[in-house]
Amino acid sequence: MNRKSLAILMLFITAITTVISAVGGGLLVYRLENMGLINFQSGAASINQNQELEVSQENSNSNTEVDLAPDTIFVSNTDIETNITQVVEQIGPAVVTVVGSIAIQSGPFGLTSTSEVSGSGVFISNEGYLLTNYHVVEDTENLYIILSDGSESDVSLVGFDIYADLAILKSEGEVPAAAVLGNSDVLDPGETVIAIGSPLGDFKNSVTTGVVSATGRSINTGEGYNIEDLIQTDAAINQGNSGGPLVNLAGEVIGINTLIVRSSGSGTTAEGLGFAVSANTAQAIASQIIETGRFSRPFLGIRYQTITPSIANRYRLSVEYGAYITEVSANSPADEAGLNEDDIIIQINDIAIDETHSYLNTIFKFEPGETVSVQFVRDGETEITEVRLGES
């Protein structure tokens, strides 16, 4: 057989093989379709998902089951509600944004402009009384609040206490909800807390969570006194959160957010250092302001200079801590008790003035009208006098 005849024979065999394969494949597909294992739809084959394909293996009595992946994407609509979301839903309507205007005088002709400031606040009674920080409303006018639903209402300043940085406002509008003040004395470090407020004045009723980092903290204001009995938390607090509530998981307000510490003088960056006035302090001050329109502090009737170890060393004083009297008001409790200029008060009753007890914080531990023992240094000698405190 020549080469040409051999080529023709090979082509004939290839054609016969192709026909046999096509016919056999068609019969296989036909049989699988009749068995319900395969469907043809719009020219695309798909395997039925509810059928199991049983594969037999030679010399083996086991079957292999093939699970075919579904072609459907499932979307869950589960409503996950936690204790935190329940508390936010409960307290959220009682939280407001406090807005006021401050007059600013500038220029050679004393031109005056206004600047808008804002903070947060929380309703504590159905009569329209709100708690906020004093520094939020200090020197402001035209005060109003923005409720959680976006509506606005005018408010008036009822009273305040500078030394605790608290103020009470009164709204004449409808009260959507009133928060309950809890007992801050039972707080434990590590307890979960929720901060609600309006950071930067724009992000109203923002919610952050954290824990109680510590209780009983004291922060020096640089104004001759400390803000005491503060709750430290790592819940995110920013400018504008001031005056908003710090809430426990029982839905009780256990603090009023008041300040943050971002960094120290050494340039070290610090985060997660937020502080709130304790609810027990806020409750005592708010109750008196609502009842009388003011909060009373004890009054001695002196002007003074705080003494620290560096000042004592510079002026060669005999004590490291104390209140150096620079002026005594006429007919004041101090004047009647015989205190004079240049005297140095070092102790009131059993509380010594030191690094952790400033003069103001020490005297604030007593009530107006109470008689206390004042220990002081005069010409290097320690003396004691009795003083009946006045009311400021």
pLDDT in tens, 167-215: 999 998 999 999 999 999 889 999 999 999 998 777 888 999 999 999 9
Apex 82 CA angle, 79 and 86, nearest 5: 100
> CA–CA distance from 163 to each of 127, 229, 360 (Å)?
26, 12, 9
Domain locations along the chain: 1-71, 87-171, 181-282, 298-391
Phi and psi torsions of 10, nearest 5°? -65, -40
Assess whether the region 87-171 and the region 181-282 belong to the same CATH fold. Answer: yes
Q: Amino acid identity of 204?
A: K
Q: Answer yes or no: are the C-beta atoms of 144 and 121 closer than 8 Å.
A: no
Residue 79 has what pLDDT? 63
> CA–CA distance from 60 to each of 54, 56, 66, 320 (Å)?
13, 8, 17, 96
Question: What is the C-alpha to C-alpha distance for residues 120 and 257, in angstroms, rounded to an integer?
Answer: 9
pLDDT in tens, 14-71: 555 554 444 444 444 444 445 444 444 443 344 444 444 343 444 444 444 555 555 6
Q: Could you say which of 120, 171, 206, 242 is catalytic?
A: 242
- Average per-residue pLDDT for the chain: 83
Q: Could you say which of 118, 120, 165, 357 is catalytic?
A: 165
Question: What is the C-alpha to C-alpha distance for residues 325 and 338, in angstroms, rounded to an integer?
Answer: 12
Pairing of strands 38-41, 44-47: antiparallel
Residue 48 has what pLDDT? 44
3-class DSSP assignment, residue 73? coil
Residue 267 has what pLDDT? 61
DSSP symbols for 131-156? EE-HHHHTT-EEEEEE-TTS-EEEEE
Question: Known catalytic residue: 165?
Answer: yes
Tell me which H or E stretch contains 347. Answer: strand 344-348
CATH topology of domain 181-282: Thrombin, subunit H (2.40.10)
pLDDT in tens, 303-351: 999 898 999 999 999 999 999 999 999 999 999 999 999 999 999 999 9
CATH topology of domain 298-391: Pdz3 Domain (2.30.42)
Domain 87-171: top CATH class? mainly beta
pLDDT band per the 50, 70, 90 thresholds, residue 106: low
Residue 200 has what pLDDT? 79
Q: Using CB atoms within 10 Å of the CB of residue 193, give its burial: 0 to 12 exposed, 13 to 18 middle, 19+ buried.
A: buried
Question: Known catalytic residue: 329?
Answer: no
Q: Amino acid identity of 47?
A: I
Look at residues 282, 370, 279, 374 and name the one whose alpha carbon lies nearest to residue 328: 374
Q: Using CB atoms within 10 Å of the CB of residue 74, give its burial: 0 to 12 exposed, 13 to 18 middle, 19+ buried.
A: exposed
3-class DSSP assignment, residue 69? coil
DSSP symbols for 326-370? EEE-TTSHHHHTT--TT-EEEEETTEE-SSS--HHHHHTTS-TT-
Question: Known catalytic residue: 42?
Answer: no
Which DSSP category does 70 fall into?
A: P
Question: What is the C-alpha to C-alpha distance for residues 164 and 360, in angstroms, rounded to an integer?
Answer: 12
Phi and psi torsions of 361, nearest 5°? -65, -30
